[in-house]
Amino acid sequence: MRGICRAIFLFNKGIIDAVYDLVPAVKIQIAFYEVYGAEGIRAFFKTAEYAKKKGLIVIADVKRGDIADVAMMYSKAYLQNEYIDAITVNPYMGENTILPYISDCTKYGKGIFILVKTSNKGSGTIQNIKTEEGYFFEKVAEMANKMADSLIGNYGYSSIGAVVGATCTEEAKILRTKMHRSYFLVPGYGAQGATADDVADCFNDDGLGAVINSSRKIIFAYRNGYWKDVYTEEEYAQTSREEVILMRDLINNCLMKKRS
């Protein structure tokens, strides 16, 4: 196990070294570390530490959601960790289960992203249930927005953000008009099929307000058709860098088109 986890950390380090000057943040998915037990968790926090020391914002994708007393412990584990800036939070259990995280966001200058409309194909089953006052995800957005308003920073954005899937273009438009002050964490780009055009409406008119996430498309870029013929497996990190540059340029082009 130790060997696998060491290899995972070195792989991550290679990618961080290759892209840290291009991206604002890394999102580390806890499931891929939990699966290796204690050594995996060690690799997770080592990766977070390395990314943080490289100047990146570190988002732990842990999707926590439990009663408030338990949430306090989750919050202590992640938001009180010096190398983690923000976590993802599942709001299904209600407002009071999110408050412990908000309290730590305030105390320690951290952030959370509340799952509002997720990128997966089945997300509509619950999130798009129509109520008399709109869709279920709109109700979650309303709750998140109220919380966001209580924690606005110097630049007008809140520490309470929202997860909004890149694959949910229509919902993203609605949410962007309702949640001006929240950063959107936008997964679903690349491997799940969303494109630069699809994420353009996740940004505010100032060109800010969204962090677009692409995981497999970046970290496994060396396996992709086009790059496979250009780079070797050993050059995986350089390949990731190329893919990040491509993603950045495609998104910037779409944003410029939208503004003109």
* Residues numbered 98-137 forming contacts with ligand LLZGTKA7, rule: CB under 6 A: 118-120
* Size of site (CB under 6 A) for ligand LLZGTKA7: 16
Question: Residues with catalytic annotation?
Answer: 63
- Applying CB under 6 A, among 56, 163, 194, 221 the residue interacting with ligand LLZGTKA7 is 163
Closest residue to ligand LLZGTKA7 using C-beta atoms: 118
- Applying CB under 6 A, among 68, 72, 152, 191 the residue interacting with ligand LLZGTKA7 is 191
* Contact status: 246 vs ligand LLZGTKA7 (CB under 6 A): no
Min separation Cβ 63 and ligand LLZGTKA7, Å: 7
Min separation Cβ 18 and ligand LLZGTKA7, Å: 17
* Contact status: 158 vs ligand LLZGTKA7 (CB under 6 A): no
Closest CB to ligand LLZGTKA7 among residues 100, 190? 190
Strand partners, 161: 113
Contacts with ligand LLZGTKA7 by CB under 6 A lie at 29, 61, 118-120, 163, 165, 187-188, 190-192, 213-216
